[in-house]
Structure 1
Amino acid sequence: MFPTSTSPSSNNYERLENGMGPGRASRKLAWRKLAIGVVVLIGLVWFFGPREGTDFIPDLPTPGLEDTYIPPQGMIPTTSKPSSSQNDSIDSPSKEPSSSTRPTSPETDPDPLKTIYCATPHKSSSPLVQYALMIDAGSTGSRIHVYKFHNCGPSPVYEYEVFKMTQPGLSAYKGRPADAAESLDVLLDEAMRVVPASLRSCTPVAVKATAGLRLLGTDESAEILEAVKRHLVVKYPFALPETDGVAIMDGKDEGVYAWITANYLLDTIRADSPAGTTSYAVLDLGGGSTQIVFEPVFDEGKPDSALKEGEHKYDLEFGGVKRVLYQHSYLGYGLKSARESVHRVVDFMASLRTSRTAGASSTAPVPNPCIAQGTEKVMEISELGTDVKRSVKMVGEDVGSFDACNRVLELVMAKDALCELKPCSFDGVYQPSLMETFPSGKILLLSYFYDRVNPLLPLSLSSPQPPLTITAISDLATDVCLGRTAWERRWGGNKELMDELEGRPEWCLDLTFMHALLVLGYEFGDAREVTLGKSIEGTELGWCLGATIAMVGAELKCRA
């Protein structure tokens, strides 16, 4: 059940070429810039010449709309509900606990040493109840997840978690490793409160650091990690895994663990999952990067009958099954990075049209096809290759539209980049064809996908909506980009959402980029159904639970 990677470690998280996507090798940099410049010049008239039906758009945060309604079929409910996978693990169906009696926290747990799902474990060698601790040491703060599992079935089943966080993160303690270690005491003391004393010595704890600690440098980060490890062993009774108990997590592990979390909660990869169940592809869209993880199936009769070797390949043993996953993180193609890239391209093209020298100041508004019609926003444009920024007023006017914005994104996506290892998705990155190796599997969209699309979907109080398709995302983008008249027609009864649309002109860009990422980048068909997800049964989707499940399922040793 341990995830294992046999591929070289990835450097993609350290490569960002001015927000325009993953960096290429230095020998390719010059020709790429030249090629992009030529394409931009050629496309100048095409983009900004007179067109019928072209429009423009802006940016917005997610309204505080909660899933207190029956969601569309393409959406995972975020509210708590009975777990069918837990029901399968109960000894007697007639004794199945009702949803009102299922514990969701230590306060509602009748006995932290036991479980309401069975009286004896599935395997005599397994404990009836198992706790596990995962500390997410991020750049802005550290967070502990205290998980409770039971072993009523063939594999551990998650019951509930306790969450607590503290600030700042470990990286704020540069040169003070002892202070960094002690900063975790508030989290570990919470674990001492939750985990029964008799189970602490067999409760594994892991500390996984991410981007913040990576940026400190090798020596400083190593000192902090060693201090944390020593502090855990000396002060606390929990069991520390012999390998990678305290470590900086590889970027690809983060994506794979998120895949495990989602598919575990969706009951597609457990030992007792129904035969023939296929796993979900998990697509995560963050601010600086986007990740894709899926389990390709190859036709042995074709030339490319297996996943090619490389850092994209992830060998995973989970639930007694060996799986081979494809994973990749596109640094520079997160939502915020995509915005910066689009605005830079639009500003550059405007400078050519007005004979303005690129980088020179100008007070004239810049028409931007990725901002909603009738809206405007002042953007901070970073000069290419420098940290210098300047303010540019961009306006949607009557040019903002899904189609016009999509043409700009065709440049940003670098679909025609050199593909050294075929086939490629975009930006020259190898990826087996999803149409051939994942033709009908389900697709789960996380993070910004959920935050931008979910508020725009209809609220149904009585019946489920039709399945969500990629076409529906382009339809939403079309109306968002057309401005207030289209908003009134579609969402006029929702004042909160209307205010959000008015205040976030780049929502048009966001939705258009998501569609381009799915269709132009990954080459999904427009009719392909997708599922939005934020949490399942009250548990947030992310890497922490997946990493913990892998740890619980491994051969762990209790503290002496």
Structure 2
Amino acid sequence: MVFTSTSSNYERLEGGFGPGRATRMLAWKKIAIGAAVLISVVWFFGPRSRIDVIPDSPTPGIDDAHPPVLHIPTTTTPSNPSEDKIDIPKTTAASPPSKTYFPTSPETDPDLLKTVHCTSPHSPSLPLVQYALMIDAGSTGSRIHIYKFHNCGPSPTFEYEVFRMIQPGLSSYAGLPSAAAGSLNPLLDEAMNVVPESLRSCTPVAVKATAGLRLLGARQSEDILKAVHDHILSKYPFPFPDKDGVVIMDGKDEGVYAWITANYLLNTIRGDSPEDAPPYAVLDLGGGSTQIVFEPQFGDEKGDEGLKEGEHKYELEFGGANRVLYQHSYLGYGLKSARESVHRVVQFMDSLRSSKNGDNDRKRMIHNPCLAQGSVKEVKLPAGDGDTVTVMMTGSDIGSFEACNRVLELVMAKDDICELKPCSFNGVYQPSLLDAFPNGKILLLSYFFDRVTPLLLADSSPDHPQPPMSISTFATLAKRVCAGPTSWSQYWGAYPDIMEELEGRPEWCLDLTFQHALLVLGYEFGDDREVQLGKRIEGTELGWCLGATIAMVGGNLRCRV
């Protein structure tokens, strides 16, 4: 199982070597220029009927990357001939072979020191079972994945995981490295409860920070990482891997590890996977960044040259097959970052309009077409030199999917310079998905799942990928959410939990519209393209963590004395 990159010297995946660093910031000058062109049209979208303003009542965890999933009883959406038809999944998705006869948690495990798969390890130099800890230090919170593996075969095999999350994330402790390190105690204490005492000194732990910490800057992020490393080393018995125990993870590894996790659990890339089970494309949407990873197919009859050389090219040996993947991580295009980008564009446009009209009242309400109609949101925006400014924004009677989408056309930077063609958005090379991935299955993770599934009103479980639905569902839901309380009552009035969520999250309109824009405008999928939403598979969280942990446990095991 080997990773290589055309621009870096990657070690074998079993070696557990971590990533480097790469960042790409959004070019605001091009947005400002484009924004000025649309000043005269943005402020007059949508119907003008009067709607009473609803005061913003934030719901706890409004910016969570993984908020609690609402449990909604099965029902049907009220019919309305004037509305677009919504593509709601109705059947159970295909899932991996059932493992219900195997332990799926410490509570169902008859012996945490043994395994039901064998009585002795494949190699006498390895323990029968092995635990590993991966802490995902994301932009909105820190999460620990406590994995159990067995060594019945030539390489460690995953059994189950224990998952816990805390908030806020490490990036919220700028200038407070000791507090940042201490914030991880509840996660590590949970690991102490799960991992048997005799195995703790041989249970590796890694902390991999993602987009949120990247945006803090080198000095502050390095101070936090050092404090975390020293804190774990002094207070807990777990060893670090030989390299990159506490690091900021490169976005390309984040995406590829997520691709491995999903396709490993879906049994499309393992040595025993069916030959007619091509791997899924995996699109992950976090708070600060978003990733796309897929295995492009190039037909010789078209004269294709294959995947062009560059950082986007990732060669992988896994499950007895050599694969060439396309991957890219868009820093600044996660959901939280996209919100800020939209709000900054709206604020800029408002400042130009106000200056033209001679209105310099900074306390007045800013009309934002990406907030639900009738909603009000207090928004904090950067003001330079590390300061922030707080403004009040309202969806008023202009909030709408169509109006918000026009703002997002600027944020997506489709007209940016494309040095290596073809490009997706923001000047990034990507082979055409119509040609290189025309019929492959697509799995959407993280915020894609969290924002859409509560509104579908379908009986579903987060432990399996949802049945396929078309991308047009994002647009249909966005139109209903952006239209405000009258629309909410029509479609979700019978569900107080959903109504409370919508009332507390004015940006749900923005979130859904951005997700649709990312898929259609950014990646250029068709509205009728089928996708699946995923959160967990048989209790295991989807994301990059399992893939990265397989790398760690596959290396040389070093125990602490």
Q: Same fold (TM over 0.5)?
A: yes
Could you list the runs of 5+ residues in structure 1 that have no partner in the other structure? 24-31, 87-98
Write out per-residue CA displacement over residues 350-386 of structure 1, whole angstroms, 9 at most, x where no aligned residue: 3333435999543333322112222222323434x55
Separation in structure 1 between the aligned mates of residue 282 and residue 372 of structure 2, nearest angstrom: 29
**Paired letter, 2:536:** S
Q: 1:229 to 1:186 in 2, by over 3 A?
A: closer
Contact 1:446 1:534 in 2 (8 A): yes
Q: 1:295 to 1:196 in 2, by over 3 A?
A: farther
1:540-551 → structure 2 map (5 Å cutoff):
540-551=541-552
1:220-231 → structure 2 map (5 Å cutoff):
none
Q: 1:161 is matched with which residue?
A: 161
Give yes or no for the alignment of 1:47 onto 2:42.
yes
Write out per-residue CA displacement over residues 432-481 of structure 1, whole angstroms, 9 at most, x where no aligned residue: 1112111111111112111111111123389x997311101100001111
CA-CA distance at 1:513 after TM superposition: 0.6
**Paired letter, 2:403:** A
CA-CA distance at 1:164 after TM superposition: 6.5
Q: 1:363 to 1:243 in 2, by over 3 A?
A: closer
Contact 2:146 2:162 in 1 (8 A): yes
**Paired letter, 1:348:** F
Write out per-residue CA displacement over residues 478-528 of structure 1, whole angstroms, 9 at most, x where no aligned residue: 111111222122112112211221222211111101100000001011011
Contact 2:263 2:269 in 1 (8 A): yes
Separation in structure 1 between the aligned mates of residue 542 and residue 290 of structure 2, nearest angstrom: 15
Give yes or no for the alignment of 1:433 onto 2:432.
yes
CA-CA distance at 1:322 after TM superposition: 2.1
Q: 1:10 to 1:52 in 2, by over 3 A?
A: farther
Q: 1:371 to 1:76 in 2, by over 3 A?
A: farther
1:103-114 → structure 2 map (5 Å cutoff):
103-114=103-114
Deviates more, 1:365-374 or 1:148-157: 148-157
**Paired letter, 1:84:** P
Q: 1:524 is matched with which residue?
A: 525
Give yes or no for the alignment of 1:449 onto 2:448.
yes
Q: 1:268 is matched with which residue?
A: 268
CA-CA distance at 1:241 after TM superposition: 4.8
CA-CA distance at 1:424 after TM superposition: 0.9
Separation in structure 1 between the aligned mates of residue 186 and residue 519 of structure 2, nearest angstrom: 43
Separation in structure 2 between the aligned mates of residue 170 and residue 381 of structure 1, nearest angstrom: 20
Separation in structure 2 between the aligned mates of residue 302 and residue 46 of structure 1, nearest angstrom: 43
Separation in structure 1 between the aligned mates of residue 511 and residue 187 of structure 2, nearest angstrom: 38
Among the aligned pairs, what percent are the same residue?
54
Q: 2:413 is matched with which residue?
A: 414
**Paired letter, 1:545:** L
Separation in structure 2 between the aligned mates of residue 75 and residue 224 of structure 1, nearest angstrom: 48
**Paired letter, 1:289:** S
Contact 1:154 1:271 in 2 (8 A): no
**Paired letter, 2:7:** S
Write out per-residue CA displacement over residues 239-275 of structure 1, whole angstroms, 9 at most, x where no aligned residue: x654545655333222221221121111111111111
Q: 2:323 is matched with which residue?
A: 323
Q: 1:74 to 1:547 in 2, by over 3 A?
A: farther
Contact 1:114 1:128 in 2 (8 A): no
2:267 match: secondary structure: coil
Give yes or no for the alignment of 1:501 onto 2:502.
yes
Write out per-residue CA displacement over residues 70-115 of structure 1, whole angstroms, 9 at most, x where no aligned residue: 99649998xxx996175xxxxxxxxxxxx3x532333432233443
Contact 1:480 1:487 in 2 (8 A): yes
- Provide the aligned length of Structure 1 versus Structure 2: 520
1:241-320 → structure 2 map (5 Å cutoff):
241-244=241-244, 247-302=247-302, 304-320=304-320
Q: 2:369 is matched with which residue?
A: 369
Separation in structure 2 between the aligned mates of residue 253 and residue 406 of structure 1, nearest angstrom: 30
Contact 2:92 2:467 in 1 (8 A): no
Write out per-residue CA displacement over residues 198-231 of structure 1, whole angstroms, 9 at most, x where no aligned residue: x678x56242332549844698578668858986
Q: 1:146 is matched with which residue?
A: 146
Give yes or no for the alignment of 1:485 onto 2:486.
yes
Write out per-residue CA displacement over residues 20-44 of structure 1, whole angstroms, 9 at most, x where no aligned residue: x2x5xxxxxxxx72x5444333322
1:496 match: secondary structure: helix
2:517 match: secondary structure: helix
CA-CA distance at 1:426 after TM superposition: 0.5
Separation in structure 2 between the aligned mates of residue 301 and residue 332 of structure 1, nearest angstrom: 38
Could you list the runs of 5+ residues in structure 2 that have no partner in the other structure? 9-18, 77-87
Bigger Rg, structure 1 or 2? 1
Contact 2:470 2:528 in 1 (8 A): yes
1:206-245 → structure 2 map (5 Å cutoff):
206-211=205-210, 212=213, 215-216=218-219, 241-244=241-244
1:383-422 → structure 2 map (5 Å cutoff):
383=383, 385=384, 387-422=386-421
Separation in structure 1 between the aligned mates of residue 221 and residue 349 of structure 2, nearest angstrom: 41
1:208 match: secondary structure: strand
Separation in structure 2 between the aligned mates of residue 535 and residue 207 of structure 1, nearest angstrom: 21
CA-CA distance at 1:340 after TM superposition: 1.7
Q: 1:382 is matched with which residue?
A: 382
Separation in structure 2 between the aligned mates of residue 254 and residue 518 of structure 1, nearest angstrom: 19
Separation in structure 2 between the aligned mates of residue 174 and residue 348 of structure 1, nearest angstrom: 30
Separation in structure 1 between the aligned mates of residue 338 and residue 167 of structure 2, nearest angstrom: 29
Contact 1:263 1:269 in 2 (8 A): yes
CA-CA distance at 1:419 after TM superposition: 0.6
Q: 1:84 is matched with which residue?
A: 97
Q: 1:503 to 1:164 in 2, by over 3 A?
A: closer
Q: 1:393 to 1:137 in 2, by over 3 A?
A: closer
**Paired letter, 2:448:** F
Q: 1:525 to 1:559 in 2, by over 3 A?
A: same
Separation in structure 2 between the aligned mates of residue 314 and residue 333 of structure 1, nearest angstrom: 21
Q: 1:155 to 1:440 in 2, by over 3 A?
A: farther
Separation in structure 2 between the aligned mates of residue 222 and residue 472 of structure 1, nearest angstrom: 41
Write out per-residue CA displacement over residues 410-441 of structure 1, whole angstroms, 9 at most, x where no aligned residue: 01111000011111110101111112111111
Deviates more, 1:486-495 or 1:542-551: 542-551
1:351-362 → structure 2 map (5 Å cutoff):
351-355=351-355, 360-362=360-362
Separation in structure 2 between the aligned mates of residue 176 and residue 365 of structure 1, nearest angstrom: 37
Separation in structure 1 between the aligned mates of residue 91 and residue 125 of structure 2, nearest angstrom: 36
CA-CA distance at 1:134 after TM superposition: 2.5
